[in-house]
Structure 1
Amino acid sequence: MEKKELLNKIYCELADSLNISDTMTQEIISSYKSVGSYLGNLEENLNIHIYPQGSMALGTLVRPIAEDKEGDYDVDLVCLLKNGGNLPAKDIKQIIGKRLSEGERYKSKLDAEGKRCWTLKYSDFHMDILPSVPKISTLPKPSRNVTQIRLTHKENDSYFNRYSDPKAYRKWFTKQMEVSFSKQREIIARNKKVEIEEVKLFDVRTPLQMTIQILKRHRDIMFSGRDNKPISIIITTLAAKSYSGETNLYEAIEKVLQDMDKHIEFNNGKAVISNPTMDSENFADKWEEFPEKQQAFFEWLNKARKDIIQEPLEFAGGMGTMKNRMRELFGSKAVNQTFDTYEEKNIKEKNKGNLGVTKEGNIGSIASSNIIAPLSTHTFYGK
Structure 2
Amino acid sequence: MTTNPPTFSKRAMDALLARNDAKQWEFLIGNLLKRLELPPATRAAAEADYLRLADSIANKLGILPGEIQIFAQGSMRTQTTIPQRAPAKLFDLDIVVKLKSGWLAQMNPHDLFRIFGEALEGNESVTGVPEEKRRCWFLNYPGKDYCFDVTPAVQEPAAHSESVLRVRDPDSDWSPSNPIDFADWFCTRAKLRFEFQRVVTRKAFDATASVEPLPDEDIGMDDILRRAVQLMKLHRDGMYWYKDKEIKRAQPISVILVTLAGHACEKLWIEEQRGQRKFSSAIEVALAIVEELPNFIHRESGVFKVCNPGLSTENFADKWNNDEGVRAKQFALWHTQLEQDLDALLHQGEAYVSEEKLRAVFGQAGVDAWKASKPKVSVMDGLLGTASAHVKTNPTTPTRLGSSGTLG
Does the pair score TM above 0.5? yes
Match status 1:169 vs 2:182: yes
Structure 1, unpaired ranges of 5+ = 188-203, 352-356, 358-363, 369-383
Residues 97 and 153, structure 2, Cα contact 8 Å, conserved in 1: yes
Is the aligned partner of 1:346 residue 2:378?
A: no
Partner of residue 137, structure 2: 118
Question: What is residue 336 of structure 2 aligned with on the other side?
Answer: 302
**2:237 pairs with 209, 213, 220, which one?**
220
Conservation of the 8 A alpha-carbon contact between 1:80 and 1:133 = yes
Offset from partner CA, 1:186-232 (integer Å, 9 cap, x none) = x9xxxxxxxxxxxxxxxx98221111111100000001122222111
In structure 2, C-alpha distance between the alignment counterparts of 1:347 and 1:63, rounded to whole Å: 22
Q: How does 1:1-383 map to 2 (within 5 A)?
A: 2-42=20-60, 43-45=62-64, 47-66=67-86, 71-84=89-102, 85-103=105-123, 105=125, 109-123=128-142, 124-137=145-158, 142=160, 145-155=161-171, 160-179=173-192, 206-226=223-243, 227=247, 228-244=250-266, 248-290=281-323, 291-308=325-342, 310-315=343-348, 319-338=351-370, 340-341=372-373, 343=375, 346=381, 366=392
CA gap of 1:350–1:132, structure 2 versus 1, over 3 A, is closer
Could you say if the C-alpha distance between residues 276 and 349 of structure 1 is closer, same or farther in structure 2, counting changes exceeding 3 Å?
A: closer
- For structure 2, the 5+ residue unaligned runs are 1-18, 199-203, 205-220, 270-278, 395-408
**Shift in CA distance, 135/330, structure 1 to aligned 2, threshold 3 Å:** same
**CA–CA distance in structure 2, aligned partners of residues 205 and 119 of structure 1:** 34
Residue 154 of structure 2 aligns with an amino acid whose one-letter code is: V
1:304–1:44 CA distance, 2 compared to 1 (3 A): same
The 1:277/1:235 distance shift into structure 2, 3 A limit, reads: same
Q: Is the 8 A contact 2:341 2:357 kept in 1?
A: no
Q: CA deviation at 1:350?
A: 8.0
Name whichever of 69-78 and 342-351 sits farther off. 342-351
Tell me what 1:378 maps to.
Answer: none
User: Which residue of the partner structure matches residue 209 of structure 2?
Assistant: none
> What's the secondary structure of 1:287's corresponding residue?
helix
- CA gap of 1:350–1:29, structure 2 versus 1, over 3 A, is closer
- The CA distance in 2 between the partners of 1:239 and 1:56, in whole Å, is 17
Between the aligned partners of 1:25 and 1:160, the Cα distance in structure 2 is: 33
Tell me the percent identity: 23
Count the aligned residue pairs: 324
SS in 1 for 2:131: coil
Tell me, what secondary structure is at the counterpart of 1:225? coil
Local SS of the residue matching 1:229: coil
Flag the 1:16–1:136 CA change in 2: closer, same or farther, 3 A. Answer: same
- Contact persistence 2:252–2:327 (CA under 8 A): yes
2:310 counterpart letter in structure 1: T
Whether the 8 Å contact between 1:74 and 1:126 is mirrored in structure 2 is yes
Task: Please list the CA deviations of residues 170-192 of structure 1 after superposition, one character each: whole Å capped at 9, or x if unmatched.
Answer: 111111123459x9xxx9xxxxx
CA RMSD for the aligned pairs? 3.3
* Residue in structure 2 matched with residue 376 of structure 1 by the alignment: none
Alignment correspondent of 1:194: none
1:321 offset after TM fit, Å?
Answer: 4.3
User: Cα distance 1:332–1:220, how it changes in 2: closer, same or farther (>3 A)?
Assistant: closer
Instruction: Write out the 4+ residue segments of structure 1 that deviate beyond 6 Å after TM superposition.
Output: 348-351
Q: Describe the shift of the 1:365–1:76 C-alpha distance in structure 2 as closer, same or farther (beyond 3 A).
A: closer
Q: How far 1:323 moved relative to its partner?
A: 3.7
- Asked if 2 retains the 8 angstrom alpha-carbon contact of 1:13 and 1:338, the reply is no
Going from structure 1 to structure 2, the CA distance change for 1:365 and 1:350 (only over 3 Å counts) comes to closer
